[in-house]
Structure 1
């Protein structure tokens, strides 16, 4: 089955056309525009509770709680909005890294290129009801047969005492294959108990039509597949990670700009007429715009926040 999915994906997508997101804001925008743009009123809905939502602004959205029977537990403001949840929590991505010990997520996002790459990997981000995202926190996934639902009809569970969560059955396969992807691609450790659980979920909950379509869209945006989704790889207990997502970092080929510093000490130039920005390296039109049309930015995130998009001819 997975081999057929892989053939289907490769036949449709011959060439990637987008570059990796640099900031969390860029990742959210890419997900809205290229992956979830038409999923806000779908049968699958938000990943854990199946709620529909209305898009608002650049990448935010307002949840239709009645569409899924979601009941607010304690955070009304977060229950009303969508959030982009890390399926493998940010804590799991960073807590073993030195940057985390010296300042947590904020410091890692600012100073550690490897963490930034993991943090904005589109496949690890999915749209969730904000309150469930907050309640799930960085809890591990497990089976919670004796735990009562705490968010109305939302079928996903949270056990605060055990610091654990269980996604609804509809999401378990996607969760498992995302865990395999993230741990293999970024050489993250996974306990044997978590491996066994994810292997069961992967087997019992094969890809849905939406997961197949989601992977097709992800492939077009990122230029690479999830090999555990396509059938290129299968996870076995004691799996040896490949670490493909970090190899070019160690070889110095991946250049990502710090959120606090300008690239190579130069400024990013935006064109106030076209609302397109150009980097000082890799963008052929950096010097082409008239001086009176130039707007300077220190970081790409600053440019994106101002409503600019990256020039299409940047390498």
Structure 2
């Protein structure tokens, strides 16, 4: 009898332990599941952007905004460019800068790259006549053509000249532009009366640091190729043909110039003649963006609020 009792007691104890173990296992499984769900909820999410069309990074997309011509434009190297650009809308911009404010911001940006655009000379800050100015460094073998006061001083050049984009605005040709009792003409009228001109003039994507005399000599001339390579600025590889009104830049910056023109055309509707655009397309292909051009684009985007989409 006692033996039967012990057997029953052992059986009951075994069943109790089994139930306890089952309950503990269930509890541990539940806690494990809760822990996993919590860890998953803490993982950072990643936005998956739609895959880019490979055509979007093709140089063949840098083209005409004149949609009236349904035929493609071809360059001399048989590069076919679609008549309609992939950038169908104006690029959004928070740009509130005028020319003066833009120059202040650009000085900060170029602390990261103190090299002038046209000649590739170093830049330094010097004091002259009580003022702090930017100048090419002493080791730059740039020569003075005519104006010693500006030959080594750094100025901010509009790659797409102010006369080019300004002349397409009504303020540039306005004959009765009265401001504070004065009748202004051309650029002065636009600066005082047209916010659109001020935004274009202060767009940092279109501004580069260059020696002042070369800035003045280039003026509103288009860029192009000048046979003969007659240099008047010492070691600086930049030529100006005053008779034909053409300026020839060094090869290393020709793509930068082309992409700036494409940007100004897309952003502001600045017109570019078809023959000139063919040359710019060639330059864009010949001289792709380098690390500094891409970095500069990002610096400007952080300050101005938009980037040049032609810099890939």
TM-score bracket relative to the smaller structure: 0.5 to 0.7
The equivalent of 2:79 in structure 1 is: none
> For this pair of structures, how many residues does the alignment match?
211
Quickly say closer, same or farther: Cα 1:92–1:65, change in 2 above 3 A.
farther
The Cα shift of 1:205 comes to: 0.4
Separation in 2, partners of 1:60, 1:138? 24
TM-score (norm 1): 0.63
Q: Is the 8 A contact 2:168 2:270 kept in 1?
A: no
Three-state SS of the structure 2 residue aligned to 1:80 is coil
Three-state SS of the structure 1 residue aligned to 2:237 is coil
1:228 aligns with 2:303: no
1:52 aligns with 2:125: no
The equivalent of 2:105 in structure 1 is: 30
1:61 aligns with 2:143: no
The Cα shift of 1:145 comes to: 2.7
Query: Match for 1:20 among 88, 92, 95?
Result: 95
Moved more, 86-95 or 23-32: 23-32
Q: Is the 8 A contact 1:181 1:226 kept in 2?
A: yes
1:198 aligns with 2:280: yes
The equivalent of 1:149 in structure 2 is: 231
The Cα shift of 1:157 comes to: 1.2
1:170 aligns with 2:252: yes
TM-score (norm 2): 0.64
The equivalent of 2:243 in structure 1 is: 161
Separation in 2, partners of 1:114, 1:133? 23
Separation in 2, partners of 1:124, 1:117? 11
| Structure 2: gaps (5+ residues) | 1-53, 59-92, 175-184
Separation in 1, partners of 2:132, 2:215? 16
Three-state SS of the structure 1 residue aligned to 2:264 is helix
The Cα shift of 1:20 comes to: 2.6
1:184 aligns with 2:266: yes
The equivalent of 1:73 in structure 2 is: 145
Separation in 1, partners of 2:260, 2:290? 14
Separation in 2, partners of 1:157, 1:65? 22
Rg larger in 1 or in 2?
2
1:217 aligns with 2:299: yes
Separation in 2, partners of 1:139, 1:32? 25
The equivalent of 1:83 in structure 2 is: 155
Quickly say closer, same or farther: Cα 1:59–1:207, change in 2 above 3 A.
farther
Separation in 2, partners of 1:174, 1:149? 22
Separation in 1, partners of 2:161, 2:132? 20
Separation in 2, partners of 1:78, 1:21? 29
Q: CA RMSD for the aligned pairs?
A: 2.2
Separation in 1, partners of 2:57, 2:125? 35
The equivalent of 2:45 in structure 1 is: none
The Cα shift of 1:37 comes to: 1.7
